[in-house]
Chain A
Amino acid sequence: EVQLVESGGGLVQPGGSLRLSCAVSGFIFSSYEMNWVRQAPGRGLEWVSSISSSGSAMHYAGSVKGRFTISRDNAKNSLYLQMDSLRAEDTAIYYCAGGFAGDGCKDWGQGILVTVSS
């Protein structure tokens, strides 16, 4: 059974940092391109970042570029998102999602809430 489980969310003050993790099981993690997608309260889905299966290529949405860093550890079947200089507008449910490159995000986690507030 494929499972993606996010952790590391919570409440953080503006300007603070948080590191999200996504533990994966049930498929060959090293073969999947992985993504972080978020949904702010009352808003639609927004792509945040993606990383190639090998970890050699990363891409970011303009809204997070320079503040967020995506990474992966294929030996630990884990995906990460380091979020720095957090802003109120980063408040959202964050989903990790993945699939074979070009085939879309076939598998998703249940999401984890990040709240940026003083």
Chain B
Amino acid sequence: QSVLTQPPSASGTPGQRVTISCSGSTSNIGSNYVYWYQHLPGTAPKLLIYKNNQRPSGVPDRFSGSKSGTSGSLAISGLRSEDEAIYYCVAWDVSLSGVLFGGGTKLTVL
């Protein structure tokens, strides 16, 4: 069981805005940055958001991240069919001296 808690699934229709949450604690999200990755099984994961709300070059501005207290969230606006993937939040945990991945949220575009 992951220490970073994500909903196992989320869904939306094309064009809609969806939000994926990530709940942690003071030893991880509460004291460190949140990162978000997109993963289609069988392919390499892709960095979407780093340092809570920064987008790497090439990532559309439809993807945005935020953090509040011990929780982070990823928002995807203008949903597209190609957004169907599994999304993971990640944070460093000072108590474990290691990186934590959330359990992943499978996004379905209806």
Q: Which positions in A face B, CB cutoff 8 Å?
A: 35, 37, 44-47, 50, 59-62, 95, 97, 99, 102-106, 108-111
Contact = CB atoms under 8 A, between A and B. Distances in A.
Interface of B: 2, 33, 35, 37, 39, 43-47, 50-51, 56, 86, 88, 90, 96-104
Nearest to B103: A44
Contacts of B86: 44
A76 to B, nearest CB: 22
Contact of A47 (B46, B47, B100): B100
Nearest to B46: A108
B53 to A, nearest CB: 12
Given A95-B44, A108-B44, A47 B88 contact: no
Contacts of A45: 37, 39, 45, 88, 101, 104
